[in-house]
Amino acid sequence: MNAWRVFGYLVWKDIKIEFRGKQFLAASATFGVLMLFITGVAMDAAPSLPVTWSAGLLWLNVFFTTAIGLTRHDRKDKEYGASLGLRLIPADPSVVYYAKWVSTCALILLAQAALVLAFFVMFNQHTPSLLGMFVMTLVGGIVGLSGIGSFLSAVTAESAMRDLLLPLLLFPLSVPLFLAVLKITVGAFSAPAFIPWVWVDVLAGYVVMVAVLPWLLYEVLMEV
């Protein structure tokens, strides 16, 4: 199908460009580990933190590094005006959006893997009792975060203060997501572990919202 072909080409393009320079991955991963290190210092090198704290610090750093990296990701589209060229192709503009979401999400997941690894090492974390739950929360959280992030990145595309504005808009809008992943992570690490189902619902609901809203609004956003 036409839309799937366009989608495939666009994702392939983003991944290929990133792996040619690897700047986004390298910078995000390094920055993430550094942030976690600084957080450890700020916590006075505590040998063990209660899980409600360490989960909060983990997600704080994930959100923060993602917010900073987001504005970098579509720079390559802007450099020689290729984003204009993408608006000329005979395809639904929302395909362009979903492709961007998927490639952003894949790259952020890769970059955050380093941060999560550092989290286990530096914060002296034991393996979560519900490992599958924890991994799914990480993926779900980053899917939701990159979704709202890609959308805001399109909204702020023409703002003169984009680098500052994007995190400023991102954090308030993603409060439900932040709370949900936080609570599920705490549940997965606790002993005995438990699954806070109501937060799983919030997470799923948020991801659905992030997936549907752009479909309704992105085409309008791109047309002027």
Partner 1 sequence: MNWQVKLLVVLLAAFGALDLYLALLWSPPEAQMGDLVRIMYFHVASAWTAMLAFSVAFVTAVLYVIFRQIKWDVISVSSVEIGLVYTSITLVTGMLWAKPIWNTWWTWDPRLTTTLILWFLFIGYTLLRGTVSGLERRALVSSIYAIVAFADVPVIHLSVKLWRSIHPDLITDSGFQMPGSMAFTLMFGFVVFLLVYVLLLYMRAKSEFLRLRLFQLRQASRALSRDERGGM
Partner 2 sequence: MRLVLDGVTVCLETGRSYLLTAENGSGKTTLLQVMAGLIRPTKGRVLWRGKPVTRASKAEVGVVLQPPMIYGDLTGLENLTLYAGLYGVKSPKAVAERWLHRFQLSDAMHRPAREYSKGMRQRLALARALVHAPSLLLLDEPFDGLDVQGIALVQTILRDTVASGGTVFMVAHQLEPVEHVDGRFTLRNGKLVEVS
Note the residues at the interface with partner 2 (CB under 8 A): 2, 5-6, 9-10, 13, 16-17, 20-21, 76-77, 79-82, 84-92, 223-224
Site for partner 1 contains 123 (CB under 8 A): no
Q: Closest approach of Cβ 117 to partner 1, in Å?
A: 28
Separation of alpha carbons 138 and 116, rounded Å: 9
Q: Are 112 and 140 in contact (CB under 8 A)?
A: no
Interface with partner 1 in residues 190-209 (CB under 8 A): 198-199, 202, 205-206, 209
Q: Closest approach of Cβ 152 to partner 1, in Å?
A: 8
Q: Are 107 and 27 in contact (CB under 8 A)?
A: no
Separation of alpha carbons 74 and 151, rounded Å: 12
Separation of alpha carbons 149 and 146, rounded Å: 5
Separation of alpha carbons 26 and 47, rounded Å: 28
Site for partner 1 contains 168 (CB under 8 A): yes
Torsion from C-alpha of 57, 60, 63, 67, nearest 10 degrees: -130
Site for partner 1 contains 221 (CB under 8 A): yes
Residue 199, binding choice from partner 2, partner 1, none, Cβ under 5 to 8 Å by partner class? partner 1
The residues of the shown chain that bind partner 1, judged by CB under 8 A, are 151, 155-156, 158-162, 165, 168-169, 171-173, 175-176, 179-180, 183, 198-199, 202, 205-206, 209, 213, 217, 220-221, 224
